Amino acid sequence: MDAWLDRIGYRGPTSPTLETLNRLIFAHAHAVSYETLDIMLGRPPKLDIATLQAKMIDGGRGGYCFEQNMLFRAALRALGYRITSLQGRVVRGLAIDAPRPAIHMLQQVELPEGSYLADVGFGNLAPTCALSLKPLAEQETPHETMRFIDVEGELTLQALLRHGWEHIYRVIPYPRYDAEYDITNWYTATHPQTPYQGNIIAARPGPNRTRVTMYNARVTVRDAEGRAEKRWLSNDQEYHDVLRGEFGLNISDQEIDQCVTVMKAKGTGDAPHPFFG
């Protein structure tokens, strides 16, 4: 616990309150980047706590939804929070009622104020504070304004961006077993048609309510209203500089070079992906 709090730079109270939860989500999101580079390196993520601690706390790396939220869940439980593990159907860039599989991990936190969503693992649109699981209530976060829309019993998380409300994922309101995460994690990390096999993907919140996203050579800085500034990396050294500098990843030269090689052979280039727009 002390090592995790040090890793995320948190020095505040640790009593299991809504205020503490908001501060922990904010600190974790800014310190531990979303990234999927191990999948490109042929290393499907492992979800046991010892491995997650070694990678993201001691190792200075990031992770994707299962890794991030498994670690965050363990920390919250150790602090005394009551957690219900959930899954979501990602509909980013798709129709709100798209028939999507449940490939995202998130969690519900029970507090005296009610039930709240906690999710530190959705890359460029993960909420940077807890969100009350109430439909239609517009909720301010340190970044975007967000809300939930009920879609046949599944609350759809939306963010207010430049062109209006955009869908993120639908929350399935039933508790999940960790074995279900193991299955979904393996599918997501090994299926040849998932975007993680051949594309360099990273994201983290930036200063002044911005978010920074990397998709192959494209680096995007987007503000809370959805205005985006994009630039394209022009040489291999820039990948080292960005992954280590802007995303704070402790990753070797050899590993970065291998990811770039895989990207050039298997990646989709600058083609847009609905999850990482």
Run of H or E including 258 = helix 253-266
DSSP state of 80: T
Structure tokens at 139: 């909720």
Alpha-carbon distances, residue 30 vs 84, 129, 143, 189 (angstroms): 24, 11, 12, 24
**129 has catalytic annotation:** no
> Which residue in 28, 104, 143, 167 is the catalytic one?
104
Respond yes or no: is residue 104 known to be catalytic: yes
Residue 50 burial class via C-beta count within 10 angstroms: exposed 0-12, middle 13-18, buried 19 and up:
exposed
The dihedral sign for the CA sequence 96, 172, 1, 54 = negative
226: Cβ–Cβ under 8 A, 6 or more apart, which residues? 161, 162, 163
SS (H, E, C) 11-43: CCCCCCCHHHHHHHHHHHHHHCCEECHHHHCCC
Decide if 191 is catalytic: no
Find, among 64, 57, 58, the residue nearest to 40 by Cα: 64
Query: Per the residue annotation, which of 2, 38, 48, 119 is the catalytic one?
Result: 119
**Which listed residue (28, 38, 65, 129) is catalytic?**
65
Residues carrying an active site annotation:
65, 104, 119
